Structure 1
């Protein structure tokens, strides 16, 4: 232990044993978020996200979890809703600017790295706090790609990944059942089965979102009737 722990708890500064408490707290907020899964398939990327609806009077469509960023890029988040929506707006601005200048879809990894830099910046200056979300950024440029960015600004590419409260269970299942070159439909079924298991089968089409980004077709958001076909 070390004296005056609160001095390191009030801002983004390292404690004597190399910890950033505010970043750790942000990661705890992500663990309380609803589960989202991304899977790279042969012809694109699948994103599936659970909408955690706790109020009977809420309109489900207003709790959107998967967002079209560009015709060939989408994103989802787990953690604090306001932070997630802010990062979505930032991603849209960056891809729109890239398209206006270069007349093309921004490379998925470039966008993910830009978001990692933004999230890292929030851990480096006084008066700011880390973003309390992890994001999955998926899309197709030269091939299907999937990236995760966490509250510390750490970036990694994945074949399949999960964020949120069910990350541990989802990752264990993905490690066993994911196969290179999966068909999009096969990847969708795997993602849905994992989210159902995490939520003890208390899942229906009202609190699940599914999207794909595929070669030649781009972003597709599944309607409720299509989602129901996977139950």
Structure 2
């Protein structure tokens, strides 16, 4: 049972507990941990996203589960947590990118988009009548100075990573990335690393039906179809590629 003091601080997202905690933000982080995982790897010349989308029923069309999103043809997002919350944030990121393109006559870099989405998330932690977004995002792309990958958690904190993961099993996935990541990976090696790390956090073997993959390089955002996902799993020596 929760103490009456903790229950009081649970009732509002804008109220800090005496030990400096926002309970609703912590609960949002727990919602992310229950979501299927997503992995991002910044290689030497590309950013790679791989995500596991588990259908709730064998009657669902696996391709309808979107875990990796194109923002503006150059930048991409991978998400974990509440799908509806993630889609709302993806739409905000797309609108921001288009506004920046119209205002300045050029496409925005990764950092401004990531921080704008983070500001939108943070706003929900200090406004009455709202709740935090129950989603975490990985935002990445390749700009003039190379690949960049940002993680944004439900508190609205952005941080740049070389490789990271969000969602269920993210601790095991991140441990695998820490052990196997090496500076200077090319895109193919980064993809194999992302898929092998994703399998570390999965309860079952990965299949091309349930994996979402995208590579972002200087030519832009490229989402893999089912055949290319199967090939990528084979190349990573992950046997369940059908």
TM-score interval (norm. to shorter): over 0.9
1:208 aligns with 2:218: no
Q: Is the 8 A contact 2:28 2:134 kept in 1?
A: yes
CA contact (8 A) 1:105 1:141 kept: no
Secondary structure of the 2:25 match is helix
Question: Over residues 107-142 of structure 1, what are the superposed CA-to-partner deviations in whole Å (9 max), with x where a residue is unaligned?
Answer: 100111111111111000110100001100001112
Q: Does 1:229 align with 2:231?
A: yes
1:34-53 → structure 2 map (5 Å cutoff): 34-53=36-55
Aligned residue in 2 for 1:171: 174
Deviation readout 1:41-99 (Å, 9 max, x if unpaired)? 11110011111212111111221110000121000110011100100100000011111
Higher mean displacement: 133-142 or 188-197 = 188-197
CA RMSD of aligned residues (A): 1.3
Q: Does 1:67 align with 2:66?
A: no
Point out where structure 1 has 5 or more consecutive residues left out of the alignment: none
- Match of 2:84? 82
Figure out how many residues of one structure are paired with residues of the other and give that number: 230
Taking the aligned partners of 2:165 and 2:232, their CA distance within structure 1 comes to: 19
TM (norm. structure 1) is 0.96
Measure, in 1, the Cα distance between the counterparts of 2:201 and 2:123: 33
Conserved? CA contact 1:146–1:159, under 8 Å: yes
Matches within 5 A, 1:141-180: 141-142=143-144, 143-180=146-183
Deviation at 1:37, TM superposition (A): 0.5
The Cα shift of 1:201 comes to: 4.3
Q: 1:194 aligns with which of 187, 192, 197?
A: 197
Aligned counterparts of 1:24 and 1:73: Cα–Cα separation in 2 = 28
Contact 2:136 2:152 in 1 (8 A): yes
Q: 2:57 aligns with which of 55, 58, 73?
A: 55
State the Cα distance separating 1:4 from its structure 2 match. Answer: 3.0
Question: Once the 2 structures are TM-superposed, how far is the Cα of residue 195 of structure 1 from its aligned partner?
Answer: 1.6
Q: Is the Cα contact below 8 Å between 1:30 and 1:165 reproduced in 2?
A: yes
Give 1:126's aligned residue.
Answer: 128
- Matched residue of 2:133: which SS? coil
How far off is 1:34 after superposition? 0.7
1:100 and 1:18 map into 2 onto residues whose CA distance is 41
Ranges in structure 2 where 5+ consecutive residues have no aligned partner: 234-242
Equivalent position of 1:94 in the other structure: 96
- Give yes or no for contact 2:176–2:200 (8 Å, CA) kept in 1: no
Question: Displacement, 1:17?
Answer: 1.3
Counterpart contact for 1:72–1:219, Cα < 8 Å: yes
Does the alignment pair 1:138 with 2:143? no
